[in-house]
Amino acid sequence: MWRILRQIARNGIRSEAPPAGNDALRVDGEQIQREILAILGQALSIREVDAGSCNACELEINALNNPYYNIEGLGIRFVASPRHADMLLVTGPVARNMELALRRTYEATPAPKLVVAVGDCGCDGGIFGEGYASCGRVANVIPVDVAVPGCPPEPIEILRGILTAVRRGRQG
């Protein structure tokens, strides 16, 4: 046990200030939390759906859970079911074999049903494009609120995209 405590003590708190949303303003964690609460009345619940990625986008989404980004601290959490989700975070070009599963997940998600497409693949099909087995971009299959370019986008960009969608959700 003392080893664990020593390791924790030595490394301290590594969380960094979260990024600004679409506007250039840099907002602090508290403000983001307040915004999320104001818009949704609760923490933001995200269901991640890999619709055909190369898995690097998942690596970077997973990185959001590391201590530097501290997204739980911002009131954002990943949930296991679309029925509990406010937002779908979708990666990849949509593989035809995943088309139906993605539509189903979208249908099962309650309002506000925000959708963030992550990565060049999600934005425009990326290097895989459209073909006999790929439907291309996510918007070809379900409506998309915000698309985050990058291959893969860095965790901070993904977080920015999530916050932008939350703000747009309020305006829309």
Partner 1 sequence: MLIAQFIEDLEHLPGPLPMHYRTVRADTWRRVAQAVSEAGGRLLSLWGSDRTRGASGSLVISAAYVVREGLLWLDLPLGERSVIDPQHPSYPDLVPFFPCAAHLQRAAADLLGVVAEGATDRRAWLNHGAWPANWHPLRRQDPHPGLPAAQEVTDYAFVRVAGDGVHEIPVGPVHAGIIEPGHFRFSVVGEKVLRLEQRLGYKHKGIEKRFTELPPLAANRLAGRISGDSTVAYAWSYCMALESLASCEIPERACWLRALLLERERVANHLGDLGALGNDAAFAFGLAQFSRLREDWLRLAKEAFGHRLMMDGIVPGGVASDIDRSSADRLFRQCDSVEREVLQLQQVYDEHSGLQDRFMTTGRVTPELASQLGLTGLAGRASGQAVDLRCDQPWAPYDRLQVKIATCSDGDVAARVMVRFAEISESLRLLRVILCRLSEGAGETRRELRLPAKAALGAGWVEGWRGEVFVALEWDGENGSNGIRRCHIHDPSWQNWPVLVHAVIGNIVPDFPLINKSFNLSYSGHDL
Q: How far is the CB of 27 from ligand SF4 (least distance, A)?
A: 27
**How many C-beta neighbours within 10 Å does residue 126 have?**
21
Interaction between residue 53 and ligand SF4 (CB under 6 A): yes
Give phi and psi for 44, each to the nearest 5.
Answer: -80, 125
Shortest CB 23 distance to partner 1, Å: 25
3-state secondary structure of 44: strand
* CA Rg value for the chain: 17
Contact between 56 and ligand SF4 (CB under 6 A)? yes
DSSP state of 126: G
- For residue 45, state whether it binds ligand SF4 (rule: CB under 6 A): no
Give the shortest CB-38-to-partner 1 separation in angstroms. 27
| Of 36, 32, 50, 30, the residue nearest 118 (C-alpha) | 50
Which residues lie near partner 1 (CB under 8 A)? 3-4, 7-8, 11, 14, 48-63, 65-68, 78, 80-81, 92-93, 95-101, 103, 105, 126-129, 131-134, 151-152, 154
